Structure 1
Amino acid sequence: MSADGFETLAIHAGQEPDPTTGAVVVPIYQVSTYAQDGVGGLRSGYEYSRSANPTRSALEECLRALEGGARGLAFASGMAAEDTLMRTIARPGSHVLIPDDAYGGTFRLFARVLAEWGVAWDAVPADPEAVRAAMRSETVAVWVETPTNPLLNIADIAALAGVAHDGGALLVVDNTFASPYLQQPLALGADAVVHSTTKYIGGHSDVVGGALVVADPELGDRLAYHQNAMGGVAGPFDAWLTLRGAKTLAVRMDRHCANAEQVVRLLAEHPKVGSVLYPGLPGHPGHDVAAKQMRAFGGMVSFRMRDGEQAAVELCARTRLFTLGESLGGVESLIEHPGRMTHASAAGSPLEVPGDLVRLSVGIESADDLVADLRQALG
């Protein structure tokens, strides 16, 4: 299609009306196998739904278009996408750099799964000079999240792409927190983008999924081979739900960001809050980079309680609209204690998060109601 506005692509890329019925929404092709036109003759390119499914194909094309890549691939979860990527680009003896405040599931994958396969890793700040100093001849990838989960640090994607490429490595960016609406890493020099589509892209807390989008068609072909060979694919109904969520990503993200700004204003002034971690604040160390590479600053907010871990835990129990729960990026607001919940797997490691930290996923409810809920919970 010729139109290239983000909102237009979200609604139309890969989603032409059904040629048989004229249905304007991609059907759910809940099918495992397909009739073939003779031995070895595929009908419309489909033979078995692990290899390809029309609903998943529509989602993959939409994701490719939204990230501006050469190939998009949809998976059963974000972790399935990460594992498939690493099994494709790494081998026993390879080395990877990950952020020193990486998501707990990513840390677990490298520290307790890939390490047993012989892949070495180091956790370093996502600073170009720190990354350059940690590069080895065996380094195959520099892995960054921006903003990070849950400390909301910012990585300079363009600068890190230069460092990674100078060392012969790929730059992989987990774009889950920003979403392709707020940030497009491939346009800044990244080689691969990872998403948990469970979060903002799906957007309704009703489906688990993951995605990879890559800049190089040859890497895309290799990933597609491993996607089929390893089998962690998105099912057709999950793909359909994710595709439906993607249609409203832009308008939802605008509200997530606007509501987050109102929440941050309250937290920044509250005496029980020690510090607020949000890249939209001028005092945030990554504010200038975020302003350069993001459309807006996102709907995730973290903060530290002045009175320590117990105060953080108790606060999580007192909110009424902010539901205590893991995950993020849905239309409803969530609150959690990362140290005991999403990042418990990093306890006792260099990636352990502060015990006084609280993480919010700010939803799209009335901003006034969300602020009032936090105000009463903070007391």
Structure 2
Amino acid sequence: MARAHGDSTRSVKAVGTEPIPGSPIGPVPTSAAAYHLSRDEDAGVDTYGRASNPSWRHLESALAQLEGAAAAVTFGSGMAALSAVLRILAEPGRTVVVPADGYYQVRAYAEEFLAARGAKVVQASCAEMCDAAVGADVVLAETPSNPGLDVVDLHRLALTCRSQGTVLVVDNTTATPLGQQPLSLGADLVVGSATKALSGHHDVLAGYVAGSHPDLIERVLRERLLAGSILGAFEAWLVLRSLGSAGLRLERQCHNAAAVALMLSAHPSVRSVRYPGLPDDPSHAVAAAQMRRFGGLVSVELADAEAVHALVERSQLLVAATSFGGIHSSVDRRARWGDPVSAGFARISLGIEDTDDLLSDLDEALSAL
């Protein structure tokens, strides 16, 4: 039996090309411009870039491999991917459960669009998700949650959903497919923002949907075609270029997050720390059972908003930014976006800097608070 490949090997192989002499060994920019039409008007070839193009296909093949899916569909952003799935599933009269403690824009979309057109929207926290799923038609779970880093028991949730025919969608952005495989735990579809750790260079917006149910994937493809929420060909190449190093980057980010979380949990200037990898974290037991890695995000609570701003200003390595998953470590004070957290709550996204440098920098910046 062949030995299973590690994540860095899987990442490199996912973006590789067929070894034809004279061809490049890695992804190269391809276009979605006009195509020559065939005399056979029914030929299944590329005709228009919004419908299909080779840039997408290469990236979608790689994403499907990493998620353990039969197929993937790319979008112009993670929110475009997620809203497309909700539009086709959360029809008027259906009950849809969305995270109450996850990405704030999902709640806004659910209330302003889904509820307005007749869907019944139920908001549930990670702890409430399994109970809230009873009787629902569609469940969207985000785990670990952003920004609180609580974890949903996906195996338990999937059993509930499957027993009653509920479609389970999991936002895998925070964990990434190299840290968690929701489809193997019973999810019907996975959505993700490739803007974050998968592309990892703060230079592209992208999203995707992955799954193994042909009917659901066909509906997602049709929605993308009609709505036009597509990913640009060059942006697709940028993500594909980055996927080859995703395993290496995520390994360092997770290592840094674990070290930083441990240091912060013992620091007198820190009121509380959340990281699923800490043995005493409330989510650790569930996370350890379903995650291969605990991710590159750490949530921390300082005294107030000024303390968060002072941390960034006194640090030589941390930058203030609201995205996450890139090579640079960053901090985001989440109350500024309306999240139901304290004024001093911050989400730290760990980059790929040397661990000792990060620990020293953080300790020095915090000691001055």
Given the two structures, how large is their TM-score scaled by the length of structure 1? 0.91
Q: What residue number does 1:173 align with?
A: 170
Contact 2:330 2:349 in 1 (8 A): yes
Seen in structure 2, the aligned counterparts of structure 1 residues 365 and 27 have a Cα distance that, compared at 3 Å, is same
Question: What runs of 5+ residues in structure 1 fail to find an aligned partner?
Answer: none
Question: What runs of 5+ residues in structure 2 fail to find an aligned partner?
Answer: none
Q: CA shift at 1:173, angstroms?
A: 0.9
The reply to whether residue 295 of structure 1 matches residue 292 of structure 2 is yes
Residue by residue over 1:117-171, the C-alpha shift from the partner in whole angstroms, topping out at 9 and shown as x without a partner, is: 33321211223xx44543465x321111111100000111111111122232111
> 1: distance between equivalents of 2:104 and 2:133?
22
> 2: distance between equivalents of 1:372 and 1:250?
25
Q: What residue number does 1:90 align with?
A: 90
Corresponding residue pairs, total: 365
Query: Which of 285, 306, 310 lines up with 2:306 in the alignment?
Result: 310
Q: Quick one: which amino acid aligns to residue 296 of structure 1?
A: R
Q: Quick one: which amino acid aligns to residue 49 of structure 1?
A: G
Q: What residue number does 1:364 align with?
A: 352
Q: CA shift at 1:3, angstroms?
A: 9.0
> 1: distance between equivalents of 2:113 and 2:333?
25
RMSD between aligned alpha carbons? 2.0
> 1: distance between equivalents of 2:91 and 2:235?
31
Q: Quick one: which amino acid aligns to residue 90 of structure 1?
A: A
> 1: distance between equivalents of 2:40 and 2:9?
40
The reply to whether residue 354 of structure 1 matches residue 335 of structure 2 is no
The within-5 A match list for 1:212-361 is 212-305=209-302, 307-340=303-336, 344=337, 347=338, 352-361=340-349
Seen in structure 2, the aligned counterparts of structure 1 residues 13 and 265 have a Cα distance that, compared at 3 Å, is closer
SS of residue matched to 1:117: coil
Q: CA shift at 1:308, angstroms?
A: 3.0
> 1: distance between equivalents of 2:230 and 2:21?
26
Q: Quick one: which amino acid aligns to residue 39 of structure 2?
A: G
Seen in structure 2, the aligned counterparts of structure 1 residues 319 and 114 have a Cα distance that, compared at 3 Å, is farther
Give structure 1 regions of 4+ aligned residues with deviation exceeding 6 angstroms: none
The within-5 A match list for 1:187-206 is 187-206=184-203
Q: What residue number does 2:132 align with?
A: 134
Contact 2:126 2:145 in 1 (8 A): no
Contact 2:139 2:166 in 1 (8 A): yes
Q: CA shift at 1:376, angstroms?
A: 2.0
Seen in structure 2, the aligned counterparts of structure 1 residues 4 and 59 have a Cα distance that, compared at 3 Å, is farther
Contact 1:31 1:49 in 2 (8 A): yes
Q: CA shift at 1:10, angstroms?
A: 2.2
> 1: distance between equivalents of 2:93 and 2:349?
38
> 2: distance between equivalents of 1:238 and 1:152?
29
Contact 2:129 2:152 in 1 (8 A): no
Q: Quick one: which amino acid aligns to residue 28 of structure 2?
A: P
Q: What residue number does 2:8 align with?
A: 7
Q: Quick one: which amino acid aligns to residue 50 of structure 1?
A: R
Seen in structure 2, the aligned counterparts of structure 1 residues 133 and 259 have a Cα distance that, compared at 3 Å, is closer
Q: Quick one: which amino acid aligns to residue 152 of structure 2?
A: A
Q: What residue number does 1:57 align with?
A: 57
> 1: distance between equivalents of 2:4 and 2:85?
28
Residue by residue over 1:325-347, the C-alpha shift from the partner in whole angstroms, topping out at 9 and shown as x without a partner, is: 1100001111110111xxx1xx3
Query: Which of 363, 368, 374 lines up with 2:362 in the alignment?
Result: 374
Q: CA shift at 1:194, angstroms?
A: 0.9
When structure 1 is superposed on structure 2, of 144-153 and 313-322 the one drifting more is 313-322
> 1: distance between equivalents of 2:181 and 2:188?
11
Q: CA shift at 1:32, angstroms?
A: 2.3
Contact 2:262 2:278 in 1 (8 A): no
SS of residue matched to 2:299: strand
Seen in structure 2, the aligned counterparts of structure 1 residues 318 and 274 have a Cα distance that, compared at 3 Å, is same
Q: CA shift at 1:215, angstroms?
A: 2.4
Q: Quick one: which amino acid aligns to residue 315 of structure 2?
A: T
SS of residue matched to 1:360: strand
Seen in structure 2, the aligned counterparts of structure 1 residues 20 and 84 have a Cα distance that, compared at 3 Å, is farther
Identity within the alignment, %: 36
